């Protein structure tokens, strides 16, 4: 007689088998195909990520558990991050009323919302317990991507053009692998494969350092720094990083002001960074009211096209956010950044240091590089969010964190010492 599971589906239920296949296929696209395929084409990540997200969502529907997806989405939207995100989306939608390019802005807005919505639903559709066979794909995908990058650079240095990648794709793939590498290393640590985790991080670091553009070097370095700081005290480090990075977003216009003041100091020859920062401050002060309200979605693109913003002015996602959505949009984004880092710090000692390092790497690229304003980066962060949450759900909560184990060991040793101490009565060991 066939046994049935708690939800009424038997072990040979074809719908359940199909759901598992769709989940694994969708996750394989994100974990294995995306890091390597990003090297081959500029637009492959834009095409593959929505397909993978849809497959993960369909897996929930085939498991005959759509109510769980609806409940998870509702609970997430009613939480502090969900409410803040909805306020940010509402303000962005409202800014279409005064943007100088409403047609282009509306297209950009709905395209962005579509990617975010698919990624959000895919995260909520993930099983409460991810199988190890699925999560092993993350380490394989990151390793393959890093090896391909290193092989391509090695052949290029040797003068052998056996592997040629399109322009801009190696830089994009390097940044993506630099973020995903932390999630892959976290999974190896969960499985107690510390040597493999160290080897994987070395591969990622080597790929970042040898990258043709160098745009992944600083994010990777910041990731390693945050990882070292968070290794012993991840929750405390998460709170500190949450406040630090949120303040960077909230007070980003002060950096151009400081650059402007530095250029006015007599006897100092300002560098290129100070000059471009001063130019950005000149743009900001032209319309102080717009600093509060913003100029509308895609206003920065039209301003650059019309020549109102000099080409030398730096273009990053944070600077564009301030220009388009103003103080209100920046404060909402800063609060979301704060909540993300604080939540990552609570993932436990096996995952939290790696999650914080990955978030720090991603935020550093977002804060400094122009590539973060492009569609591929939004899709890449969707991949990172899905993979990181999958790793977090792969722990099963069956192994106590190291802190709990160490505290229990200390209490046991203390009780054993008290038993041999005549000044203290013996206590039972719990």
Q: How many helical (H) and strand (E) elements, i.e. helices and strands, does the chain have? A: 19, 0
State residue 198's pLDDT score: 95
**Contacting residues for 129 by C-beta, under 8 A, at least 6 apart:** 393, 394, 396
114 domain residue, yes or no: yes
Cα 66 to chain centroid, rounded: 27
191 domain residue, yes or no: yes
Rounded Cα gap, residues 227 and 149, in angstroms? 24
**Contacting residues for 315 by C-beta, under 8 A, at least 6 apart:** 300, 304, 370, 373
294 domain residue, yes or no: no
Task: Look at the alpha carbons of 58, 90, 305, 334 in this order and tell me if their dihedral is positive or negative.
Answer: negative
Answer yes or no: are the C-beta atoms of 49 and 34 closer than 8 Å: yes
Residue 57, judged by CB atoms within 10 A of its CB (0-12, 13-18, 19+), counts as buried
145 domain residue, yes or no: yes
271 domain residue, yes or no: no
Q: Which of 95, 209, 110 is nearest to 150 (CA)?
A: 209
Rounded Cα gap, residues 313 and 256, in angstroms? 10
Report the number of distinct structural domains present in the chain: 1
Q: What's 313's DSSP letter?
A: S
Rounded Cα gap, residues 123 and 153, in angstroms? 35
3 state SS of 29: helix
Q: What's 7's DSSP letter?
A: T
Answer yes or no: are the C-beta atoms of 229 and 320 closer than 8 Å: no
Exposure class string for 157-192: b at 16+ Cβ within 10 A, else e:
eeeeeeeebeeebbbbbbbbbbbbbbbbbbbbbbbe
Task: Look at the alpha carbons of 225, 248, 297, 386 in this order and tell me if their dihedral is positive or negative.
Answer: positive
272 domain residue, yes or no: no
Answer yes or no: are the C-beta atoms of 300 and 320 closer than 8 Å: yes
205 domain residue, yes or no: yes
Is the backbone of residue 8 left (phi > 0), alpha (psi -120 to 50) or beta? left
Task: Give the domain range for residue 75.
Answer: 14-254+312-392
Q: How far is CA 420 from CA 71, 77, 424, 428, in A?
A: 55, 56, 8, 13
Q: What is the pLDDT of residues 43-77, one digit of tens each?
A: 889 999 999 999 999 998 887 677 888 899 999 99
3 state SS of 274: helix
Answer yes or no: are the C-beta atoms of 385 and 425 closer than 8 Å: no
State residue 427's pLDDT score: 39
Question: Furthest-apart CA pair in the chain: how many Å?
Answer: 89
| pLDDT of the chain, 430 residues: tens digit per residue | 333 344 444 455 787 888 889 999 999 999 999 988 888 888 889 999 999 999 999 998 887 677 888 899 999 999 999 999 999 999 999 999 999 888 889 999 999 999 999 999 999 999 888 888 889 999 999 999 999 989 888 877 777 766 677 777 888 889 999 999 999 999 999 999 999 999 999 999 999 998 777 888 999 999 999 999 999 899 999 999 999 999 999 998 888 888 777 777 766 666 666 777 778 888 888 888 888 888 999 898 888 888 788 877 778 899 899 999 999 999 999 999 999 999 999 998 889 999 999 999 999 999 988 888 888 999 999 999 999 999 999 876 544 444 444 454 455 555 444 444 444 444 333 3
Which residue's entry shows tokens 């944070």?
Answer: 318
Q: Which helix (H) or strand (E) is 207 found in, with range?
A: helix 194-209
283 domain residue, yes or no: no
State residue 73's pLDDT score: 92
Residue 291, judged by CB atoms within 10 A of its CB (0-12, 13-18, 19+), counts as middle
Q: How far is CA 361 from CA 209, 367, 428, in A?
A: 14, 10, 48
């Amino acid at each position: 007689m066939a046994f049935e599971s708690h939800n009424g589906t038997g072990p040979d239920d074809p719908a359940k088998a199909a759901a598992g296949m769709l989940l694994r296929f969708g996750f394989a696209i994100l974990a294995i195909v995306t890091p390597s395929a990003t090297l081959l084409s500029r637009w492959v990540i834009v095409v593959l990520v929505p397909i993978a997200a849809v497959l993960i969502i369909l897996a929930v529907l085939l498991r005959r558990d759509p109510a769980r997806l609806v409940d998870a989405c509702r609970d997430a939207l009613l939480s502090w991050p969900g409410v803040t995100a909805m306020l940010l989306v509402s303000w962005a939608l409202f800014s279409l009323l005064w943007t100088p390019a409403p047609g282009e802005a509306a297209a950009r807005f709905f395209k962005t919302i579509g990617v975010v919505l698919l990624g959000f639903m895919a995260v909520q559709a993930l099983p409460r317990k991810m199988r190890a066979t699925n999560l092993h794909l993350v380490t394989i995908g990151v390793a393959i991507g890093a090896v391909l990058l290193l092989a391509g650079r090695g052949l290029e240095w040797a003068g052998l053009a056996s592997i040629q990648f399109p322009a801009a794709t190696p830089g994009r793939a390097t940044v993506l692998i630099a973020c995903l590498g932390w999630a892959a290393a976290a999974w190896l640590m969960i499985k107690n494969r510390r040597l493999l985790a160290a080897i994987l991080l070395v591969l990622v670091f080597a790929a970042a350092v040898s990258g043709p553009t160098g745009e992944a070097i600083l994010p990777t370095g910041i990731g390693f720094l945050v990882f070292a700081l968070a290794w012993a005290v991840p929750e405390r480090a998460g709170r500190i990083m949450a406040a630090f990075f949120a303040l960077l977003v909230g007070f980003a216009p002060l950096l151009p002001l400081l650059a402007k003041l530095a250029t006015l100091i007599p006897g100092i020859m300002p560098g290129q960074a100070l000059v471009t920062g001063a130019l950005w401050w000149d743009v900001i002060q032209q319309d102080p009211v717009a600093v509060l309200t913003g100029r509308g979605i895609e206003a920065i693109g039209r301003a650059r096209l019309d020549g109102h913003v000099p080409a030398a002015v730096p273009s990053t996602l944070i600077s564009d956010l301030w220009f388009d959505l103003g103080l209100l949009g920046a404060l909402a984004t800063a609060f979301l950044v704060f909540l993300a880092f604080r939540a990552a710090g609570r993932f436990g000692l096996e995952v939290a240091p790696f999650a914080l390092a990955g978030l720090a790497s991603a935020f550093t690229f977002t804060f400094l590089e122009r590539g973060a304003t492009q569609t591929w980066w939004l899709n890449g962060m969707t991949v990172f969010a899905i993979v990181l949450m999958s790793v977090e759900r792969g722990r099963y909560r069956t192994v106590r964190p190291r802190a709990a184990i160490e505290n229990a060991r200390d209490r046991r040793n203390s009780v054993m010492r008290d038993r041999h101490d005549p000044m203290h009565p013996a206590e039972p060991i719990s």
